[in-house]
Amino acid sequence: MIELTNVSKTFTLHNQGGAVLEVMRGANLTVPAGECVALTGASGAGKSTLMRIIYGNYLAAGGSVVVGGVDVTQSEPRDILKLRREVLGYVSQFLRVVPRVHTIEVVAEPLLSLGIPMDEAKDRAASLLQKLNIPEPLWSLSPTTFSGGEQQRVNIARGFAHSYPALLLDEPTASLDATNREIVLGLIEEAKANGTAIVGIFHDEAARERVCDREIDVTGFSPLAAA
Amino acid sequence: MTPLLSVKDVSKYYGNRIGCANVGFDLYPGEVMGIVGESGSGKSTLLNCLAGHHAPDTGEVVFDTRTDGPRDTLQMSEPERRMLGRTDWAFVHQHARDGLRMGVSAGGNVGERLMAVGQRHYGDIRAQAVDWLGRVEIDEDRVDDRPTAFSGGMQQRLQIARNLVTGPRLVFMDEPTGGLDVSVQARLLDLLRGLVRDLGLSAIIVTHDLAVVRLLADRLMVMKSGHVVETGLTDQVLDDPQHGYTQLLVSSVLQV
């Protein structure tokens, strides 16, 4: 489902003397449907960079990133957006929303963009919010004023609204209490059982043990390790 | 798929000065493209060239018309281009006053575009005007007020209603949220996003506000001194800018 071949990444800082930072070289990774792979490595090792490259948010300097048959590094913006709508989901660490939009609509939005009718999308959103213990009176408020943990759960609900065949998770259980952590892990297991290929960053070791089939240390993708 | 708008090699010079030079891109149905850059970078010149307000010195602006398929709008006759401007195209000006008739009621402003495409039934026109005022969150009881009695944000929303009532397929927007306070801006952005999604509009949005394009645009074109220096997926250009100027632009945004 997700296949990275010989991916490299450099950052060129034109306004800081044209410094060129080579941060990744020769990254290879294959994640078949139904498997969950955890990216590990110290802070700054490139876990998030690799996730962002898979999502098309960072431009790879070389190599190919094929998700569901589409090479993210070679595709037009509209093809990447189509991929993100239909195939590739991403739960980031932080919720980024348009101010003023109600929580339930934030969660339903990925479904609406797939052309699913408003009622059906809202039903699905409501059941996810319920499951993640977001009190119903909050559904018609904007999540911008919510607590960190609540925002995180809204973000997760949004990420799981559509059952994407491929999913990227950036610390999905951080800032959650034990009950909600359990629910989120349940959602991940459910997605796996449905055949979703998952790449995740989990600092929570117990969570990693439980849902991940494999660990990949991204330190191995640094240019120093390759040299 | 045929692009809705295919722009090739458009240049516009003001004497020896470059307005915009050798700009080309394809815009597909349902796509929203943002054009960003500092003031004087040629964004508005380009937008006006595309929308037929300025005549570019070189280039082609090919639009996929409903009846005749792809046609170069620069080669069209003036009446044909004006017809396009009233039907399939819409232009949202930065200052609502430029896009509205200030002496005519709100309902009249919306209805005028309908009459321009041949509608004559007054009751229908009024009903559609009221419907559109509702969609842009203007109360029905304001339908007979003139835009001079509206706040800036309401005027801007009225301008959008006036533009979208004829069901255009391509909307040009020049700083649609410029000059509005942030709460009104958020409301307008939310509204525009909904309209783009529900009506399947394509749009070209010129702005210098990077937060606006992050929310609205699928893809981005960065201009400097009349030239396009970078293009790509919006979040990729903003989060991993490749060109020195884009890096400067992105890193110059004040954090709130």
pLDDT for A101 = 85
B256 has pLDDT over 60: no
pLDDT for B222 = 96
Instruction: Tell me the chain A residues in contact with residue B183 when contact means C-beta distances shorter than 8 Å.
Output: 99-100
Quote the distance between the C-alpha of residue B184 and its chain's center. 18
Q: Does B197 touch chain A (CB under 8 A)?
A: yes
Residue A36, strand partner residues = A198
Measured CA to CA, the distance from residue A17 to residue B249 in angstroms comes to 16
Residue range B60-97, pLDDT digits in tens: 999 999 888 999 999 999 999 988 988 899 999 999 99
Instruction: Tell me the chain A residues in contact with residue B186 when contact means C-beta distances shorter than 8 Å.
Output: 98-100
Binary contact (B240, A52; C-beta < 8 A): yes
Binary contact (B242, A59; C-beta < 8 A): yes
Predicted model pTM: 0.89
Quote the distance between the C-alpha of residue A79 and its chain's center. 18
Binary contact (A98, B234; C-beta < 8 A): no
Q: Does B162 touch chain A (CB under 8 A)?
A: no
- CA B192-A104-A197 angle, 5° bins: 95
Q: Does B2 touch chain A (CB under 8 A)?
A: no
Measured CA to CA, the distance from residue B145 to residue B141 in angstroms comes to 8
User: Chain B window 16-45: which residues touch A at a Cβ cutoff of 8 Å?
Assistant: 28, 31
Phi, psi of A173 (to 5 degrees): -105, 0
Residue range B29-44, pLDDT digits in tens: 989 999 999 888 999 9
Residue range B129-172, pLDDT digits in tens: 999 999 888 999 999 999 999 998 899 999 999 998 988 999 99
For A118, nearest residue in chain B (alpha carbons): B198
pLDDT for B27 = 95
Please report the ipTM that was assigned to this predicted complex.
0.89
Q: What residue type is A123 in one-letter code?
A: D
Quote the distance between the C-alpha of residue A208 and its chain's center. 15
Q: Is the dihedral of CA B44, B84, B219, A75 positive or negative?
A: negative
Measured CA to CA, the distance from residue A174 to residue A196 in angstroms comes to 21
A227 has pLDDT over 70: no
Mean pLDDT of chain B: 91
Q: Which of B193, B218, B244 sits opposite A78 (nearest CB)?
A: B218
Measured CA to CA, the distance from residue A142 to residue A106 in angstroms comes to 8
> In Å, what is the CA distance from A154 to each residue of A108, A110, A159, B48, B70?
11, 13, 9, 41, 44
State percent of chain A over pLDDT 90.
Answer: 80
Kindly give the pairing relationship between strand B5-14 and strand B58-65: antiparallel
A226 has pLDDT over 60: no
